[in-house]
Structure 1
Amino acid sequence: MSTGFSILTREATMMLQLSGKVVIASAGMQADRKALHKLLQARHVMYVHNHGRPMALSATAQLLSNTLYYKRFFPFYTFNLCAGLDEQGRGAVYNYDAIGSYERSGYFCQGSGKELIQPVLDNQLKAPSPLTLPAPASTLTALPLEQALDLVKDAFVSAGERDIYTGDKVEILIITKEGVRRDELQLKLD
């Protein structure tokens, strides 16, 4: 977490794990991120008490959209991703703007390194040029876990070399049928 050229802390997480299959990642203002995560956590706990099970990914995605839209006239200054496994066990990422509009994709990114990371992901996971293929490739890819993890790490290493706000460490949450596993990647060790 930083402001200007000052690093306030190296240990601030930008992610909220709501269940064993759903994680929300938020970039933007720290106070708004914490308020949003606290509100979403409370709504998820209420859902679990009322229904006896955790909220599904699609329901969480809609809850986040409704929450952001409700605050559209004085929005949370956050840019969010909701990721996890859907009801069929497939991975999905929902990308949001500040007022709750969203779309489902197989991958997406937010934050200060977005402009550096997104082209790398597009190049590796989609057709490199719309001129080479008549229709763009699906964003739902079937990469093996280790290959996907290597791609994410390479993209963050590349962004970390060019963007001072990307930070010194990347927190990676790997969502599988067995649950959520945390991994870390150290950047800028020189």
Structure 2
Amino acid sequence: MSSVQTTVASEYSSEIQTVPIEHRFNPYSDNGGTVLGIAGEDFAVLAGDTRQVEGYSIQSRYESKIHDVGDDILMTANGFAADGVALIDRFKQSLIWYKFDNNGKKLAIKSAARYIQQLLYGKRFFPYYVSTLIAGLDEEGKGAVYSYDPVGSYEREQCRAGGAAASLIMPFLDNQVNFKNQFVPGTDGKEKKPLKFLTLEEVIQLVRDAFTSAGESIYMLVMD
């Protein structure tokens, strides 16, 4: 932040006063939106709403946040739309060079997760202002979802929500996917419901229910 000394005359006084004029620039903007990812036994789902906003203005109702970037990898970078586009384009370009350098070899989801971590960490002093998720199948054919913070910290999870309505959707996913606070009927809340993978049909219905109160419309991609 910088300041410039200037002189102004008040309409209520003939005296000349010296006051600082401050200049500031915010390089980021929050374009809203919500995304979520769920990993199944042999599939992974990435979904997000299609509305892009800035303040009280709706810029688009049909802007997808979910991208098939290649090599059976789904990706979303939700938050500041320009940063999201830049990050996804960088990763797509890196995939092209990887296949060129490795005779068309497919990039594993685990390796992709690590590389995106390096992209985000490399911008840590001027970070991409986005909530990033990727989804795909691992080497064993099991669903995988990786979530990131803006500076590259990441982990593999069963489910994750990000964006404006994440605080509403994540407790719902914790209950319905991770079975938190779910108990076997007839045990008076003493026996926890055992964890199990949901079917693809159950996950799709779950995504629809999650976005019913959190989004105007949804766009969903499934990798199986």
TM-score of the pair, normalised by structure 2: 0.69
Name the residue aligned to 2:70. Answer: 19
The 3-state SS of whatever aligns with 1:61 is helix
Answer yes or no: is the 8 Å Cα contact 2:53–2:59 preserved in 1: yes
Name the residue aligned to 2:217. Answer: 169
Name the residue aligned to 1:143. Answer: 198
1:158 pairs with one of 168, 188, 213: 213
Flag the 1:134–1:5 CA change in 2: closer, same or farther, 3 A: same
Name the residue aligned to 1:81. Answer: 133
Name the residue aligned to 2:98. Answer: 47
Structure 1: 4+ residue segments shifted above 3 A: 130-138
Name the residue aligned to 1:102. Answer: 154
The 3-state SS of whatever aligns with 2:115 is helix
1:120-139 matches, cutoff 5 A: 120-129=172-181
Q: Distance in 1 between matches of 2:193 and 2:115?
A: 30
Amino acid of the structure 1 residue aligned with 2:204? L
Identity of aligned residues (%): 35
Structure 1 residue 158 displacement after superposition:
2.7
Q: Aligned-pair RMSD on alpha carbons?
A: 2.1
Q: Distance in 2 between matches of 1:30 and 1:49?
A: 29
Q: Does 1:32 align with 2:78?
A: no
- Per-residue CA deviation, residues 144-183 of structure 1 (Å, 9 max, x unaligned), is 11011001110111323xxxxxxx211100111xxxxxxx
Larger Rg: 2
Kindly tell me the number of residue pairs found equivalent between the two proteins: 167
Flag the 1:26–1:144 CA change in 2: closer, same or farther, 3 A: same
Higher percent of residues as helix: 1
Answer yes or no: is the 8 Å Cα contact 1:68–1:76 preserved in 2: yes
Answer yes or no: is the 8 Å Cα contact 1:14–1:27 preserved in 2: yes
Structure 1 residue 129 displacement after superposition:
2.8
Structure 1 residue 20 displacement after superposition:
4.8
Answer yes or no: is the 8 Å Cα contact 1:19–1:54 preserved in 2: no
Give ranges in structure 1 of 5+ residues lacking alignment.
161-167, 177-190
Flag the 1:66–1:9 CA change in 2: closer, same or farther, 3 A: same
Answer yes or no: is the 8 Å Cα contact 2:77–2:85 preserved in 1: no
Higher percent of residues as strand: 2
1:60 pairs with one of 103, 108, 112: 112
Q: Distance in 1 between matches of 2:119 and 2:144?
A: 20
Name the residue aligned to 1:183. Answer: none
Give ranges in structure 2 of 5+ residues lacking alignment.
1-51, 184-188
Structure 1 residue 21 displacement after superposition:
2.0
Q: Distance in 2 between matches of 1:77 and 1:146?
A: 33
Structure 1 residue 58 displacement after superposition:
0.5
- Per-residue CA deviation, residues 84-136 of structure 1 (Å, 9 max, x unaligned), is 11111100110100000001011111111111111111111223339967999
